[in-house]
């Protein structure tokens, strides 16, 4: 067994002890809680890889998840005697165990959702769920961070909201639960920004790329730059296999402009109407690969004009920043004058006090 251990795990104290023929004691010598420690428990990569199933659908786990879902929903809806004890038991034993046994992100998302439903039901009934929330958070983080499940990210945000629900009006939420929500929000925001995900974590439906043949003909509408005034789009019939630079030449000819200006002309597929790809078009690629479709639109722009607008925007931003700094400096100077004025008035009042006292004695 030790011969099969990856080299990166060679610094694991458990493996070192086995190789040396030693009998290691668990951390702290606590045999009852030894499996909760990273080096000894299921979080150890050596054990996790062999205990979890493959990252793929599994009929047995899917059936077990369906059974757990039905039981949890029944307990939450009926709320019979001791339902809160039963639903806690199902969540902490069956659902958590199923999450440990699978690496398939959709299954982990389902487990996180079930844990969230249990915690929410308990809190709405006025009962604390701080024993359920940490496990729900861990499962949701795995599904979102490692599995890339957007739905798990939304569940994670909702779990964070449950941490700060005030159950008793006279007892404020403890700081550790407020910190837990902040940590969850920071994690979701970081992953969303790093992976360029939508802020609402909603799945964006993919628009399929259109198929075309060499004999197909498309009608494309070319829209002139706004700086040239309001012009009707120019419709042109092309084959999708032709290079996109053909559209530039056709537009220049329609505007009676020399072909030498082609270097200053760019094409862009607009975001509306939605298509499978948008943005600047590679003029060397076929029209069918640009993102435009039959009866679609392409915007023409002047590269020099875009550069000029970018420089203008950068200049305006720099001026705004300088103006803000100057205003802040002026406010600081005014504040300093007010402080000095208050100090002067205080000194004058203090100096006048003895005179008033003498006048009172007289």
CB 152 within 8 A of CB 144: yes
- How far is it, in rounded angstroms, from Cα 277 to Cα 107? 31
Q: So what's the pLDDT on residue 12?
A: 54
pLDDT at residue 76 tops 90 = yes
CB 236 within 8 A of CB 225: no
pTM of the model: 0.52
143 or 45: which leads in pLDDT: 143
155 or 313: which leads in pLDDT: 155
**How would residue 338 be classed by pLDDT, with cut points 50, 70 and 90?**
low
**How would residue 335 be classed by pLDDT, with cut points 50, 70 and 90?**
low
| Tokens at 361, concatenated | 């004695």
- How far is it, in rounded angstroms, from Cα 139 to Cα 145? 10
| Tokens at 17, concatenated | 């002890």
Per residue in 209-220, is it b (16+ CB within 10 Å) or e — as a string?
A: ebebeeeeebeb
Helices (H), 164-275: 175-194, 245-254
- How far is it, in rounded angstroms, from Cα 73 to Cα 87? 9
Rounded mean pLDDT of 353-362?
54
71 or 20: which leads in pLDDT: 71
Q: So what's the pLDDT on residue 361?
A: 55
Helix (H, G, I), strand (E, B) or coil at 267: strand
Helix (H, G, I), strand (E, B) or coil at 287: helix
Burial class of 112 by CB neighbour count within 10 A (0 to 12, 13 to 18, 19+): buried
128 or 50: which leads in pLDDT: 128
Rounded mean pLDDT of 156-183?
93
* Count of positions (residues) in the chain: 362
| Tokens at 291, concatenated | 């993102």
Closest by CA to 267, choosing from 286, 253, 250, 280, is 280
pLDDT at residue 140 tops 70 = yes
Q: What is the pLDDT of residues 82-137, one digit of tens each?
A: 999 999 999 999 999 999 999 889 999 999 999 999 999 999 999 999 999 999 99
Chain centroid to CA 338 = 46
**How would residue 189 be classed by pLDDT, with cut points 50, 70 and 90?**
very high
- How far is it, in rounded angstroms, from Cα 142 to Cα 335? 51
Chain centroid to CA 71 = 32
Rounded mean pLDDT of 22-32?
46
**Could you give the angle at which helices 150-163 and 175-194 cross, rounded to 10 degrees?**
160
pLDDT at residue 347 tops 80 = no
Closest by CA to 224, choosing from 273, 257, 271, is 257
326 or 359: which leads in pLDDT: 326
């Amino acid at each position: 067994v030790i011969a099969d251990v990856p080299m990166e795990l060679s610094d694991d104290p458990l493996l070192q002890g086995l190789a040396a023929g030693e009998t290691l004691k668990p951390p702290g010598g606590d045999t009852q809680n030894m499996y909760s420690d990273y080096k000894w428990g299921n979080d150890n990569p050596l054990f996790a890889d062999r205990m979890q199933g493959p990252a793929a659908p599994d009929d047995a786990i899917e059936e077990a998840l369906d059974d757990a879902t039905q039981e949890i929903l029944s307990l939450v809806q009926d709320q019979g005697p001791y339902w809160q004890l039963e639903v806690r038991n199902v969540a902490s034993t069956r659902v958590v165990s199923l999450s440990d046994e699978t690496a398939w992100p959709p299954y982990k998302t389902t487990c996180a959702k079930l844990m969230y439903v249990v915690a929410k039901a308990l809190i709405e009934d006025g009962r604390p769920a701080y024993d359920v929330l940490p496990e729900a958070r861990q499962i949701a983080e795995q599904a979102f961070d490692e599995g890339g499940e957007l739905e798990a990210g939304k569940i994670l945000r909702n779990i964070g909201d449950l941490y700060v629900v005030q159950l008793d009006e006279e007892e404020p939420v403890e700081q550790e639960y407020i910190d837990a929500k902040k940590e969850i929000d920071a994690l979701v925001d970081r992953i969303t920004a790093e992976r360029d995900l939508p802020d609402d974590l909603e799945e964006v439906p993919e628009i399929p790329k259109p198929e075309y043949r060499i004999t197909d003909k498309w009608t494309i509408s070319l829209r002139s730059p706004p700086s040239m005034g309001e012009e009707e789009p120019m419709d042109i019939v092309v084959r999708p296999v032709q290079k996109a630079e053909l559209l530039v030449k056709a537009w220049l000819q329609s505007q009676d402009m020399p072909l030498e200006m082609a270097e200053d002309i760019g094409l862009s597929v607009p975001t509306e109407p939605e298509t499978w790809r948008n943005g600047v078009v590679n003029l060397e690629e076929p029209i069918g690969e640009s993102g435009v479709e039959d009866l679609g639109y392409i915007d023409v722009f002047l590269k020099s004009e875009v550069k000029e607008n970018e420089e203008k925007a950068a200049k305006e931003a720099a001026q705004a920043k300088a103006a803000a700094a100057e205003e802040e400096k002026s406010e600081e100077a005014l504040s300093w004058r007010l402080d000095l004025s208050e100090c002067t008035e205080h000194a004058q009042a203090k100096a006048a006090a003895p005179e008033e006292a003498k006048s009172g004695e007289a």
